Amino acid sequence: MRYLTFALAKGRLANKSLDLFEKIGITCEEMKDKDTRKLIFTNEELGYRFFLAKANDVPTYVEYGAADIGIVGKDTILEEGRRLYEVLDLGYGKCKMCVCGPKEAKEKLKHHELIRVASKYPNIAKDYFYNKKHQTVEIIKLNGSVELAPIVGLSEVIVDIVETGATLKENGLEVLEEVCPLSARVVVNEVSMKMENERITKLITDLRNYLENKEK
């Protein structure tokens, strides 16, 4: 039996995912060792292999078959645009992708003015403004502290993930438009889905059943 390999986005998503796997009988004791320097963890009995990766890299590992299954946020799936199957919404890590800025920027959005948009997610921003709003904008890619952009005059608005909105509020910004809801998703390599269909389908079914029963 070949290993089924999982790529998990580092951080909170990985921890939640491992908790969820335990609920359906998939454990990996090696991963619980906080001091380990191992990169790949295995459950020999079940034939599963796990590794942690940067969120942005998870879809890449899955598309190229280095991982059969990945768990990553919807934001990363949309931004990376990789060829893979998105098979299940796990319902945690919920937040929203939004257009944010100072109150006065709302008028510029309404009248489809040519504005600058700063974002860590240029592809999502481009798709939203060009394909959904049909508004021509200049998109500026930033790698951190996107909220700074409208404050220092780099852009009129930003496109970013919003959980509570507290950071926006503290900096005189607000949500102006919602782009899409986000949460953790299960993605599967296209070839793996055919070659390991039975095992992968069972795993997805077990996860779905657990999540549905939990909601009842």
Residue-by-residue pLDDT tens, the chain, 216 positions: 789 999 999 988 888 999 999 999 998 877 777 777 888 999 998 999 999 999 999 999 999 999 999 999 999 999 999 999 999 999 999 999 999 999 999 999 998 889 999 999 999 999 999 999 999 999 999 998 999 999 999 999 999 999 988 989 999 999 999 999 999 999 999 999 999 999 999 999 999 999 998 776
Give residue 36's pLDDT: 79
Q: What is the pLDDT of residue 25?
A: 92
Q: Virtual CA dihedral for 41, 44, 47, 51, nearest 10 degrees?
A: 0
Tell me the domains of the chain and their CATH numbers.
4-93+183-215 (3.40.190.10), 95-181 (3.40.190.10)
- In terms of Cβ atoms closer than 10 Å to its own Cβ (0-12, 13-18, 19+), residue 135 is middle
pLDDT at 206: 95
Q: Of 120, 95, 108, give the one whose Cα is nearest residue 13.
A: 95
The phi, psi pair for 75, rounded to 5°, reads -60, -45
d(CA 99, CA 177): 5
pLDDT at 8: 95
pLDDT of residue 48: 94
Which residue has tokens 């390999």? 5
Instruction: Considering only the C-alpha atoms of the chain, give the largest distance between any 2 of them, rounded to a whole number of Å.
Output: 60
pLDDT for res 1: 72
Q: Are 112 and 133 spatial neighbours (Cβ–Cβ below 8 Å)?
A: yes
Alpha-carbon torsion angle 10, 67, 141, 135, nearest 10: -120
